[in-house]
Amino acid sequence: MNEYPLPTPHPTSAHPARVYNVWLGGKDHYPVDQEAAELAAGANPTIVPSVRANRAFLGRAVRHLAAAGVRQFLDVGTGIPAAENTHEVAQRAAPESRVVYVDNDPIVLTHARALLVSGREGQTDYVQADARDVDAILDAASRTLDLDQPVGLMLVAILQYVKDAEDPWGITRRLLDRLVPGSYLVLSHPAADVTAPEVAESMRIYNERAATHASATPRSRKEVERFCEGMEILEPGVVTLTRWRPGPSDPADDSLPMWCAVARKE
């Protein structure tokens, strides 16, 4: 399954996990990632608050699912471990929670040990795979997750790396098809229709420096809603990050250009 070579000491193209790591204030990136991250954030100053709000949304969504009784999570597009990874949030709420992480970037694999430190009652696993390899992901996940029980499928800030021509909607549907009713989709995605000129310019800057397979596409609210087709979208619907059930300490800035939603499979 490992068709992605380990990064060379001086990669010439930027990669999503490492660029995201720059924006989150981490140390796991190369100069090419730092340059792409800084130039893109210069063109769109909402990027850094957006990635922070995205992590906060991920935490709120996992807590919501845990409160709804979900004990299994499939987190595709995990990223380099940061604060409040999915298993930490889920196992704090329910120690028996099981989490399978999936990412296609070898740098995430090199950090996987941090993701595998599960509480004793729960379990975690890491699978190196591409989101486009739906069957491989589900087969590997089924070693840890019971696919006859509900699963929280996390597609948080990843689908922008799947091009229209690769049918991200079909990939999402095929992942959900193998999950039982009562499963959930947790989704966030850069917006093409909020602060549109700044988003377009920052994406152009990033894409110029990114590996071809990792270029990004922002999408409109309607296009993001399509990922939840046939599911019950929980209140408050497809909204910008800080509008999804904010807590008292969450910032109120609702102009951050990322859509998010949580939907339940019926």
Ligand X SMILES: C[S@@+](CC[C@H](N)C(=O)[O-])C[C@H]1O[C@@H](n2cnc3c(N)ncnc32)[C@H](O)[C@@H]1O
Q: How far apart are CA 10 and CA 17, in angstroms?
A: 16
Nearest to 31 by CA among 40, 22, 41, 23: 22
Cα distances (angstroms) measured from residue 191 to each of 39, 42, 82, 164, 171: 19, 18, 23, 15, 19
Q: Smallest distance, Å, CB 18 to ligand X?
A: 8
Q: Smallest distance, Å, CB 220 to ligand X?
A: 19
Q: Please identify, using beta-carbon distances, which residue of 73 and 161 lies nearer to ligand X.
A: 161
Closest CB to ligand X belongs to which residue?
79
Do residues 176 and 264 make contact, with C-beta atoms less than 8 angstroms apart?
no
By the rule CB under 6 A, 158 interacts with ligand X: yes
Do residues 142 and 155 make contact, with C-beta atoms less than 8 angstroms apart?
no
Host H or E run for residue 173? helix 168-177
Question: Residue 121: what are its φ and ψ, rounded to 5°?
Answer: -80, -20
At 208, the amino acid letter reads E
Q: Smallest distance, Å, CB 173 to ligand X?
A: 16
Q: Smallest distance, Å, CB 266 to ligand X?
A: 25
By the rule CB under 6 A, 186 interacts with ligand X: no
Six token digits for residue 130: 């591409």
Do residues 119 and 64 make contact, with C-beta atoms less than 8 angstroms apart?
no
The only residue of 46, 91, 97, 104 in contact with ligand X, by rule CB under 6 A: 104
Q: Please identify, using beta-carbon distances, which residue of 121 and 163 lies nearer to ligand X.
A: 163
Do residues 217 and 202 make contact, with C-beta atoms less than 8 angstroms apart?
no
Interface mask toward ligand X for 111-150; x: CB under 6 A: -------------------xxx------------------
Q: How far apart are CA 225 and CA 228, in angstroms?
A: 6
By the rule CB under 6 A, 103 interacts with ligand X: yes
Of 38-46, 75-83, 236-244, 252-260, the window that binds ligand X (rule: CB under 6 A) is 75-83
Chain residues 51-70 in contact with ligand X, contact rule CB under 6 A: 54-55, 58
How many residues lie near ligand X (CB under 6 A)?
Answer: 21
Q: Smallest distance, Å, CB 263 to ligand X?
A: 17
Applying CB under 6 A, the residues found at the interface with ligand X are 16-17, 20, 54-55, 58, 77-79, 103-105, 108, 130-132, 156-158, 161-162
